[in-house]
Structure 1
Amino acid sequence: MAAGVLLVVVAAAMAMAAAVEGRFVVEKSSVRVLAPEHIRGHHDAAIGNFGVPDYGGTLTGAVLYPPDKKEANGCAPFASKFTAKSRRPVVLLLDRGECYFALKAWNAQQAGAAAVLIADSVDEQLLTMDTPEASPGTEYIDKISIPSALVNRAFGESLKKMAEKAETEGEVVVKLDWRESMPHPDERVEYELWTNSNDECGPRCDEQVEFVRSFRGHAQILERGGYARFTPHYITWYCPDAFKLTRQCQSQCINHGRYCAPDPEQDFGEGYEGKDVVVENLRQLCVHRVANDTGRPWAWWDYAMDYKLRCSMKEKKYSKACAEDVVTSLGLPLDKVLECMGDPNADAENAVLSKEQEDQIGSGSRGDVTILPTLVINDVQYRGKLERTAVLKAVCAGFKEGTEPRVCLSHDMETNECLHRNGGCWRDEATNVTACRDTYRGRVCECPTVNGVQYQGDGYTNCKAVGPGRCSLNHGGCWSETRGEHTFSACSDTALTGCRCPPGFHGDGHKCEDLDECKDKLACTCPDCHCKNTWGSYECGCKGNQVYIRGEDICIASSMSRFGWLVGVLVVSCAVGLGVAGYVFYKYRLRSYMDSEIMAIMSQYMPLDSQNNEHQPLRQQESEA
């Protein structure tokens, strides 16, 4: 029996066992339709196991569906770039079928898409889109940097129909939301890597080796600071009873067929055997356990890296002695590691490897581990490229808000999406005020507040300053112009919004032109007036020696003859005399009136002499009484 056939049999046996206790879980993100109104809502989308899902972030974009149906499957490079009219990022919608999922994503990325949604072609439960096996022509897989997701057929059909009507009914706007795709319950992240010590399995093994090398520094910082707890895991299979005595099982398994791994060269006659891989898997598990017990859990990363450099199976350097030398060189107690490993030839279960097989079967929210390598963060399987920055971002998304360690906020993590084309957000070129705000969970397009002045708008195509003080910031986005010492603006501090051309100009407030008051007969209308237009105003003059009165729009004489002066003096004198006489008469009448009023009041309380006889009998009657 060939090794490949045996592996199929073993995998089938494992699948039957897992079906009882576990399951494969499709990790999903939320796709929220924002427009048009009648199809708004939330939908599930299965995260692709390639590219870089934006864990902890969001992406709002316009859905575009290739108008040429021949391009709709995305299996060939697109003839031109895709751009949205609103300048939003493009979320390209493609049909499933005819080629690899990853190839569709690569072609979409090359055509300018920020994300790709693939519509299923049949009615079924969502599945995880995986990468194809490495083969000539698949080198593009490592270059995919955009997120991908599979949506069900019904939702995909709705998006297609609305995208085709975008010209008349407006863009289809969706928000891809990964903020809750990664649980973030507390200040510590627990994550695990399911891997293999064998480095001869081609691109997948090379990917694991490179990841360990590049991520080691971040992992050790997280563990040394107590921010994260990392656990390595290794996938093994067991050999069915019917095959335990075959050469294949004896070559690929230890502990009498209980724990197996594929032959590195897929050839039982040469090189290393599968059981060599299992033994090294066991050693690395025990290295981690012993390192953890001695308070140095991060030493596993050093061992894994040094093992690849010093004892690589791929380079034919592996031996038991080489691996043990690495353990010793790191200051770990070799006897503790050997005690943990036990006897690989014993006809008995190994506690460490049995625990690995149990953990491989999913429980709770976590599904079965069936893809190698698999990264699990806070009990959720990571989907995407096994690459340093992408993984660190996913790990950092697992921290409770505000508890992220410094490594998550370092320049190494800071992508600053606002630096590239302003993140697709609005920006005022004159003042460099922008709606793009870069955050750990990705950039957002939100109209800002600058120096206490609030901008309002959609953040993508427009933002306008509103409220008091808005005119201090580039005149509130309104028209303004300066000529010489004069500056005019269409922004008014008395109006909280809007732009209105100032007096002397006409226009919409964003463009104002000088109003020719003379041409339009708006000023200097009196018969003796002549008008001269100026920028923003006008000047009026009068014929001869007349003077122009602007408020009355009239001309009056500026000089008089001698006779005119005499008449003027007489008129003024008469006016003054009449005024004085009137004032004297007014004062006399006012004094007489006041005297009479005072006397009348006093008479009620202090009778005058002339009134004594008249009131005497009354006073006598009062005294007698």
Structure 2
Amino acid sequence: MARRSITVPLVGLSEASEYLLFFYFFFFLVTSVQGHFVVEKSSVSVLSPSKYKSKHDSAIANFGIPDYGGSIIGVVVRPSKNVMACDPFDETFKSSSGRPVFLLVDRGGCYFAKKAYYGQIAGADAVLVSDNVDEPLITMDSPHRDTEGYADKLTIPSTLITKKFGDTLKEALKNEDTEIILKLDWSESMPHPDNRVEYEFWTNSNDECGKKCDIQMKFVKEFRGHAQLLEKGGFTMFTPRYITWYCPQAFVKTKQCKSQCINKGRYCAPDPELNFEGGYEGKDVLRENLRQICVHRVANESGRSWIWWDFVTDFHIRCSMKDKKYSKECAETVIQSLGLSKEKIDKCMGDPDADAINPVLQEEQSAQVGKGSRSDVTYLPTLVINDIQYRGRLDRTGVLKAICAGFEESTEPPVCLSSAIETNQCLDNNGGCWLDTERNISACKDTFRGRICECPIVHGVQYTGDGYTSCKPEGPARCSVNNGGCWSETVDKKTFSACVNSDLNGCRCPVGFKGDGKTCTDVDECKERSSCQCSGCSCRNKYGGYDCKCSGDLVYIQSEDTCIARNTSKVGSILTLLLIGSIVCAGLAGYIFYKYRLRSYMDSEITAIMSQYMPLDNHQNESRPLQENSNTTV
């Protein structure tokens, strides 16, 4: 595993120069191996005129607020002068069609963030910077000494395009009278493999490192609510991270390494006050960083990983360096107030003064090195979402949008579908999806990236279809919705239906009807099925069935298709009653006899069994004369 090291010799430098080198290398992490940097990309598509239709990669700037998961369609505008945008514009940029404006400017002359800021205040909705050399795309970053604060003021996205594509757009703007319409698309800039987002926040416990520290703490305070909501709901897995470097063996005994490192130079951080003679030291920051990592680990073990956000916020308020309260004792007070185990946290931290590898900090150093699609972590603060680095300003809404873009479509938590961060495309023409206007049932499902057309489940009934042109109910309970799309009719308060709940789909005309199930007509059983064919029978058709009648006093038996007499003679009735009475009496007598014999048999059996195990009275009476005779003989 490559390790972060300082490779510039410090011999002969003044103390201040030595410190500045240490400070510089902390933030930019000069490594003993080549760094791994990945350019995060979005796409730019030319939509019209048709002869220019094409799609191109662009590099997302590391400032402003990229529209992760979304897209913008707008018009390309080129300034008439000041094409490098290094000075404020004396014109306002608008499109004749009212579409958003994408300002196309040239690279060179000044900071990227400065160009974007001047474009923003001139009315641009996004800034495209055309490269001035043919080369692979690079990431536009804000200047490290941005004294004017351009990057902090940016709220629009910016992107770098290749020189070749930029030249094409410039020529098109010269030759075309119509607007050049582009689509800036970030919908696939964030990986979204499943229904959980994993993200890391690389930060630092030092609150006196200037602007960077202020940005970090402002973000923690503002994003804490969202982070905890997502974590408690199981939607995200969050890990706090802390950058360290190590001191080369040749300098371990120097004053700088001793004051800025722990574990004998293995893990270091810069002196927070730029003063080796007093105040807080880098090793104080390292110990607190280590404690905060362990706070998260212990909280995570107890199922309360979100407590880290409370600890960091409270520690910053109660234990700040500015108030001279940045200490172990103050941190332990915060730990106690949050109900965490001090003993478990101490055990996790290990011995910061030992001449040995600390497993927790060693893992942090290893995690800094980029692998696969992820860049090295080289500066603070850095956010890594689904294993790629977030580009743009560390803004509460911008970061939430990036996290929401990391969910598999249609699995986003409710917070991602709020009107504050996404546009509900189902509100416009139902998103082009199927709609049952009568029952207000729609196949349009709003997602963070847009919408999907998917047949819904309504009151437990699953609709199936392509979601665009048709959806129909299927499965159990489907008949409760529009009768499953089948035929139904009510006549004389009796309802007939071709929908059967036991059938997962399809329609069947009920008995007494014929048709395809979508339409059913009554069957005339008297004609079509030759019903009531018995002698003396007459057939009358009715809706959904038929009636058969017999002539005279006869009764129709449908199962036999025959007629029988309704009444018999008086003598026959008497004989029938006598016969039935005789049968009943005989049965009753048989039952009584059976019970008597069964009881007698059971009594005799029980008596025989009992006599084998205990003397019964009659046995005792028989034995007494023998005993008396025996006594007399004696």
TM-score, normalised by the number of residues in structure 2: 0.63
Measured after TM superposition, the shift of residue 152 of structure 1 is: 1.6
Query: What are the Cα deviations for residues 127-166 of structure 1, in whole angstroms up to 9, with x where unaligned?
Result: 211112255322x422211100111222212222212223
CA distance in 2, matches of 1:136, 1:107: 15
CA contact (8 A) 1:65 1:164 kept: no
In the alignment, structure 1 residue 327 sits paired with structure 2 residue 335: yes
CA distance in 1, matches of 2:445, 2:218: 29
Query: What are the Cα deviations for residues 84-114 of structure 1, in whole angstroms up to 9, with x where unaligned?
Result: 2222211111111111111111111111111
CA contact (8 A) 2:187 2:449 kept: no
Aligned to 1:153: 163
- Write out aligned runs for 1:250-261 (5 A): 250-261=258-269
CA contact (8 A) 1:187 1:404 kept: yes
Aligned to 1:166: 176
Measured after TM superposition, the shift of residue 301 of structure 1 is: 0.5
CA distance in 1, matches of 2:415, 2:83: 41
Aligned to 1:296: 304
Measured after TM superposition, the shift of residue 228 of structure 1 is: 0.5
CA contact (8 A) 1:10 1:240 kept: no
Aligned to 1:525: none
Aligned to 2:370: 362
Q: Which runs of 5+ in 2 are unaligned?
A: 1-14, 429-443, 452-634
Decide whether aligned partners of structure 1 residues 64 and 418 sit closer, same or farther in structure 2, where only a CA change above 3 A counts: farther
Decide whether aligned partners of structure 1 residues 84 and 165 sit closer, same or farther in structure 2, where only a CA change above 3 A counts: farther
Aligned to 2:58: 45
Aligned to 2:110: 99
In the alignment, structure 1 residue 16 sits paired with structure 2 residue 29: no
In structure 2, give the amino acid aligned to 1:145: T
CA contact (8 A) 2:409 2:448 kept: no
In the alignment, structure 1 residue 118 sits paired with structure 2 residue 134: no
Aligned to 1:309: 317
Query: What are the Cα deviations for residues 410-465 of structure 1, in whole angstroms up to 9, with x where unaligned?
Result: 3554578999xx9xxxxxxxxxxxxxx99764789xxxxxxxxxxxxxxxxxxxxx
Query: What are the Cα deviations for residues 507-547 of structure 1, in whole angstroms up to 9, with x where unaligned?
Result: xxxxxxxxxxxxxxxxxxxxxxxxxxxxxxxxxxxxxxxxx
Measured after TM superposition, the shift of residue 77 of structure 1 is: 1.3
Measured after TM superposition, the shift of residue 125 of structure 1 is: 2.1
In the alignment, structure 1 residue 273 sits paired with structure 2 residue 281: yes
- 144-153 or 38-47: bigger deviation: 38-47
In the alignment, structure 1 residue 5 sits paired with structure 2 residue 13: no
CA contact (8 A) 2:190 2:388 kept: yes
Aligned to 1:178: 186
- SS at the partner of 1:191? strand
In structure 2, give the amino acid aligned to 1:364: G
Decide whether aligned partners of structure 1 residues 303 and 268 sit closer, same or farther in structure 2, where only a CA change above 3 A counts: same
Decide whether aligned partners of structure 1 residues 313 and 190 sit closer, same or farther in structure 2, where only a CA change above 3 A counts: same
In structure 2, give the amino acid aligned to 1:98: G
Out of 48, 55, 67, the residue aligned to residue 35 of structure 1 is 48
In structure 2, give the amino acid aligned to 1:319: S
CA contact (8 A) 1:134 1:203 kept: no
- 224-233 or 28-37: bigger deviation: 28-37
Decide whether aligned partners of structure 1 residues 102 and 260 sit closer, same or farther in structure 2, where only a CA change above 3 A counts: same
Decide whether aligned partners of structure 1 residues 143 and 443 sit closer, same or farther in structure 2, where only a CA change above 3 A counts: farther
Aligned to 1:58: 71
Measured after TM superposition, the shift of residue 14 of structure 1 is: 4.7
Aligned to 2:612: none
CA distance in 2, matches of 1:9, 1:137: 24
Aligned to 2:386: 378
- SS at the partner of 2:348? helix
Query: What are the Cα deviations for residues 545-576 of structure 1, in whole angstroms up to 9, with x where unaligned?
Result: xxxxxxxxxxxxxxxxxxxxxxxxxxxxxxxx
Query: What are the Cα deviations for residues 186-209 of structure 1, in whole angstroms up to 9, with x where unaligned?
Result: 111111101111111111111110
Aligned to 2:141: 130
CA distance in 2, matches of 1:43, 1:143: 28
Q: CA RMSD in A?
A: 2.4
CA distance in 2, matches of 1:369, 1:13: 9
CA contact (8 A) 2:198 2:238 kept: yes
CA distance in 1, matches of 2:166, 2:38: 22
- SS at the partner of 2:384? strand
In structure 2, give the amino acid aligned to 1:242: A
Q: How many residues align?
A: 420
CA distance in 2, matches of 1:79, 1:415: 33
CA distance in 2, matches of 1:363, 1:95: 33
Decide whether aligned partners of structure 1 residues 348 and 187 sit closer, same or farther in structure 2, where only a CA change above 3 A counts: same
CA distance in 2, matches of 1:111, 1:376: 32
- Write out aligned runs for 1:210-609 (5 A): 210-413=218-421, 441=448
Measured after TM superposition, the shift of residue 179 of structure 1 is: 0.4
In structure 1, give the amino acid aligned to 2:109: E
TM-score, normalised by the number of residues in structure 1: 0.64
CA contact (8 A) 2:412 2:448 kept: no
Aligned to 1:474: none
Measured after TM superposition, the shift of residue 7 of structure 1 is: 4.1
- SS at the partner of 1:184? coil
Decide whether aligned partners of structure 1 residues 393 and 13 sit closer, same or farther in structure 2, where only a CA change above 3 A counts: closer
- SS at the partner of 1:44? strand
Aligned to 1:73: 84
Fraction of identical pairs, as percent: 59
In structure 1, give the amino acid aligned to 2:45: R
CA distance in 2, matches of 1:127, 1:214: 30
- SS at the partner of 2:32? helix
Aligned to 2:120: 109
Decide whether aligned partners of structure 1 residues 134 and 440 sit closer, same or farther in structure 2, where only a CA change above 3 A counts: farther
- SS at the partner of 1:15? coil
Measured after TM superposition, the shift of residue 225 of structure 1 is: 0.6
Aligned to 1:493: none
CA contact (8 A) 2:260 2:270 kept: yes
Decide whether aligned partners of structure 1 residues 333 and 413 sit closer, same or farther in structure 2, where only a CA change above 3 A counts: same
CA distance in 1, matches of 2:29, 2:394: 28
Aligned to 2:434: none
In structure 2, give the amino acid aligned to 1:95: D
- SS at the partner of 1:132? coil
CA contact (8 A) 1:13 1:240 kept: no
CA distance in 1, matches of 2:28, 2:322: 28
CA distance in 2, matches of 1:13, 1:318: 26
CA distance in 1, matches of 2:166, 2:143: 23
- SS at the partner of 1:208? helix
